A and B are shown apart, each in its own frame.
Chain A
Amino acid sequence: EAGVVQSPRYKIIEKKQPVAFWCNPISGHNTLYWYLQNLGQGPELLIRYENEEAVDDSQLPKDRFSAERLKGVDSTLKIQPAELGDSAVYLCASSNGQGKETQYFGPGTRLLVL
């Protein structure tokens, strides 16, 4: 079974530029999560999807961050414009949903904003 796929693995951009991250969850997983992880910290939830619906986006800075999950499968997280403080690892995870608490993570995208 293929795991969660993320791309790109690394991205270096200048501040004020846009950037997008892509995630393909494990096949059949209805729930998809985007997390932000700063160095030395645990993952922090940005947004959670149940199928194609964003059901928990309270931690997503909506002035510059946006996300979508087309057809309830792949998802894209976008930052526009990026700021220096956005430098972090962006992790995508998926799970089977209700009653299945385990989350499966992708390798993450390491973003550096200069």
Chain B
Amino acid sequence: SQKIEQNSEALNIQEGKTATLTCNYTNYSPAYLQWYRQDPGRGPVFLLLIRENEKEKRKERLKVTFDTTLKQSLFHITASQPADSATYLCALPPLKGYNKLIFGAGTRLAVHP
């Protein structure tokens, strides 16, 4: 079955630096990959979707890459701010089926002033 791995350790960085989070997956080739942000006590919020034929996607200070050979996506936040502190989840469609997502466990990001 497919497996999604995100760094379980929290990422602590200084304000203004670039945060880089990793999502690795195994056992299949998804047509797309999504990143969500989740704040404590709230539901996940969609950030970006990148398709298998796209190498890179940008939205304001966010950048996502998708390396189908390495089976890895990198999520970057440039010029990070304390307000970026949250848990970031990657999600992929399953091997079989549609209209559903399999979520990673998420990586908690803490941006310190």
Main secondary structure of the interface of B (DSSP, over half): loop
Q: Is the CB of A108 within 8 A of B42?
A: yes
Chain A nearest Cβ from B45, distance in angstroms: 7
Q: Which residue of B lies closest to A92 (CB)?
A: B43
Q: Which residues from chain B contact A101 at a C-beta distance below 8 Å?
A: 32, 34, 49, 93, 99, 101
Q: Which residues of A contact B (CB under 8 A)?
A: 4, 31, 33, 40-45, 48, 50, 56, 91, 93, 95, 97-98, 101-108, 110
Interface size for B (C-beta < 8 A) is 24
Chain B nearest Cβ from A89, distance in angstroms: 9
A-B contact count (CB 8 A): 58
Q: Is the CB of B100 within 8 A of A107?
A: no
Q: Which residues from chain B contact A33 at a C-beta distance below 8 Å?
A: 100
Interface residues of B in 19-42 (CB under 8 A from A): 32, 34, 41-42
Q: Which residues from chain A contact B89 at a C-beta distance below 8 Å?
A: 42-43
Interface residues of B in 64-92 (CB under 8 A from A): 89, 91
Q: Which residues of B contact A (CB under 8 A)?
A: 4, 8, 32, 34, 41-46, 49, 89, 91, 93, 97-106
Chain A nearest Cβ from B9, distance in angstroms: 11
Chain B nearest Cβ from A57, distance in angstroms: 12
Q: Is the CB of B43 within 8 A of A48?
A: no
> B105 is contacted by which of A42, A48, A50, A104 (Cβ under 8 Å)?
A42
